Chains A and B, each alone.
Chain A
Amino acid sequence: MSLVSIDNVDMRYGGAGGTLAVQGLDMKVNKGEFVAVVGPSGCGKSTLMKLVTGLHIPQQGTVIVANEHVTKPVSIVGMAFQNPTMLPWRTTLDNILLPLEIVERHRHRLRANKAEYVAKAEALLATVGLKGFGDKFPWQLSGGMQQRANLCRALIHEPELLMLDEPFGALDAFTREELWCVIRDLHAARGTTIMLVTHDLRESVFLADRIFVMSARPGRVIAEHRVEFARPRDLAIMYEPAFNDKVQQLRAQIAEARVTA
């Protein structure tokens, strides 16, 4: 049974004469699966994320999440964008607790069970290597630390579906690999369904079960790859020939998609 099902979707920005961002988009994501979406810049990947979360409603076609037609923002998702949108007047901990003040399921319990939630947020901070930084303000953290906090905020309400839009874009190589492992372990431990948009092909092959390659704008899926490496995966698999073959294959496809645009 698929958790996310996108069927022949067209999405145009700015009215009838506007930009056609995606066209004829088809995609299915199973429960518990980890999928990655790659493609040329501006091909509609962020648009796809917003369609699935219900932030945009398509002009044509259907988006179904958890057996429900998406007509308004979906409540089971957690989302992390490329630029960390932390609120500067809240401490990092309060930023992470923000979703709990909004999500229906938690907002009525928050006041009475504050300690429990704070403990949970602190545990999350510890998993991403930010132990003890909860009382700092976001602007007192480095860019990479803000990204980690951003990830915590997307996870605090234990979403069934985690949407990550280039969340590791601005990070250095070591931090990035560290966070790949955090995400990998999280996926293994909780069985969360994850959709990851990325420009880093190695990242997609290392993390995902399936990779969708999108065409240039208007975006649609032009290829689908199954990644067969056994889990749990170790960072060392990135040096295996089979891994590099997969990366090369993806690279060639995207290069071609860019040219035909």
Chain B
Amino acid sequence: MTDIPARPAVRAADFKVPWIRLAPWLYTIGLFVVWEVAVRLSGLPHTVLPAPSRIFQAIVQYWGPISRNSVQTLYTTLLGFGLAVVAGLGIGLFIGWSKTIYAGLYPLMIGFNAIPKVALVPILVIWFGIGTVPAVLTAFLISFFPIVVNVATGLATIEPETEDVLRALGAKKLDIMLKVGIPRSMPYFFGSLKVAITLAFVGSVVSETVASNNGLGQMMSQAQSQFNVPLVFAGLLALAVEGIAMYAVMAWIEKRSTGWAHRSTMGN
């Protein structure tokens, strides 16, 4: 009598499908299936909207240039992003250091961020010529802002009580920054990396499209001028894959480095 209810429970556990884990894959496959079916039924020419099967065909056909340009784009993006991390952390700490600096530089930063970065590419080309450098710098310029803002916010929002406890012990500004400000702003910093890496891709591809002889952006704009629409989409797909992969890496780093900030999800 007692073991009867236990059996179905064991069964259910055995056959339990990890739906949440599978969901991203299933949805992606679903999107491609719907896309394929829609293109076939509507009879759209592949110069307008190629079906996924046509795109995969293009990927196989142009595997050499796609992989070469993907590596190039990943390289410029990561370089720009790396610069953004270093500069963003430094400037963020500098801005968050004092209320006066924060007040003075914040409007400047907002103004700078409002400039469309594509408008800067011609200037960068004048300074550095066509190629990798403008792409790296565009990726840098577009992605360092969220890092700066997040680090500065983490520093500027220290609880006054915490600060009082330390000040009452004779802590200097530097002590408060080292013991509280910087550790406290780390979750903000790592959180901003996810936003920054996707923006960095936008920056490098925009620059490559406008002024480069390398990279996915340049490859797509060239394919477009030859009406090779499947190759354009193949480039987009490659970008999406790189973007998702780097986002996942950043999310993993965030989780690993600031576990205390995710305490509610740690099952304690």
Instruction: Write the nearest CB–CB distance from B188 to chain A, whole angstroms.
Output: 13
Known A-B contacts A87-B180, A88-B263; the reply to A102 vs B164 at CB < 8 A is: no
Q: Determine the distance from Cα of A60 to Cα of B243 in the docked complex, in whole angstroms.
A: 61
Interface string of B161-182 (1 = CB under 8 A from A): 1101111111100010001100
| A137–B260 alpha-carbon span in the complex (Å) | 8
Contacts of A88 in B (CB 8 A): 260-261, 263
B268 to chain A, nearest CB (A): 6
- Residue in A81, A89, A103 whose CB lies within 8 Å of B165: A81
B235 to chain A minimum Cβ distance, whole angstroms, is 42
CB-CB under 8 A from A87, the residues of chain B are 162, 179-180, 183-184
Q: Is the interface of B mostly helix, strand, loop or mixed?
A: helix
Complex interface residues of chain B between 130 and 174 (CB less than 8 A to chain A): 159, 161-162, 164-171
- What 1/0 flags go to A137-164 for Cβ under 8 Å of B? 1011000000000000100010000010
Cα of A19 to Cα of B92 in the assembled complex, Å: 34
Contacts of B167 in A (CB 8 A): 55, 73
CB distance from A137 to the nearest CB of B (A): 6
Q: How far is the CB of A210 from chain B (nearest CB, A)?
A: 23
Q: Which of B168, B258, B268 contacts A54 (CB 8 A)?
A: B168
- A61 adjacent to chain B (CB < 8 Å): no
The CA-CA distance from A79 to B168 in the complex, in Å, is 7
Contact of A55 among B168, B180, B260, B263 (CB under 8 A): B168
Residues of B within 8 Å of A83, CB to CB, are 161
| Contact A81 B260, beta carbon cutoff 8 Å | no
A138 to chain B: closest residue by CB: B260
Q: How many residue pairs, one in A and one in B, have C-beta atoms under 8 Å apart?
A: 62
- Docked CA distance A224–B169 (Å): 29
The reply to whether B171 and A102 form a contact with Cβ atoms under 8 Å apart is: yes
Flag if B165 contacts A79 (CB, 8 Å). yes
- Are A75 and B170 in contact (CB-based, < 8 A)? yes
Contact check, A55 vs B164: say whether CB atoms are below 8 A apart: yes
A87 CA / B166 CA spacing, docked (Å): 11
8 Å CB interface, B159-216 against A: 159, 161-162, 164-171, 175, 179-180, 183-184, 186
Contacts of A98 in B (CB 8 A): 166, 179
Contact partners of B186 in chain A: CB under 8 A: 89
Contact B170 A104 (CB under 8 A): yes
- Residues in B with CB closer than 8 Å to A169 are none
Could you tell me if A89 and B168 are in contact, using CB atoms closer than 8 angstroms?
Answer: no
Contact residues in B for A139 (Cβ distance below 8 Å): 260, 263, 268
Residues 69-113 (chain A) with a chain B CB within 8 angstroms? 73-75, 77, 79, 81, 83, 85, 87-89, 98-99, 101-104
7 further interface pairs, Cβ-Cβ under 8 Å (given A87-B184, A89-B186, A140-B268): A85-B162, A87-B162, A87-B179, A88-B261, A98-B166, A99-B169, A139-B260
CB pairs A–B below 8 angstroms (18 shown): A73-B169, A73-B170, A74-B168, A77-B168, A81-B164, A87-B162, A87-B179, A87-B180, A87-B183, A87-B184, A88-B263, A102-B166, A102-B171, A103-B169, A104-B170, A137-B263, A140-B268, A157-B169
- Which residues of A are at the interface with B, using a C-beta cutoff of 8 A? 50, 53-55, 73-75, 77, 79, 81, 83, 85, 87-89, 98-99, 101-104, 137, 139-140, 153, 157, 163
Residue ranges of B at the interface with A (Cβ–Cβ < 8 Å)? 159, 161-162, 164-171, 175, 179-180, 183-184, 186, 258, 260-261, 263, 268
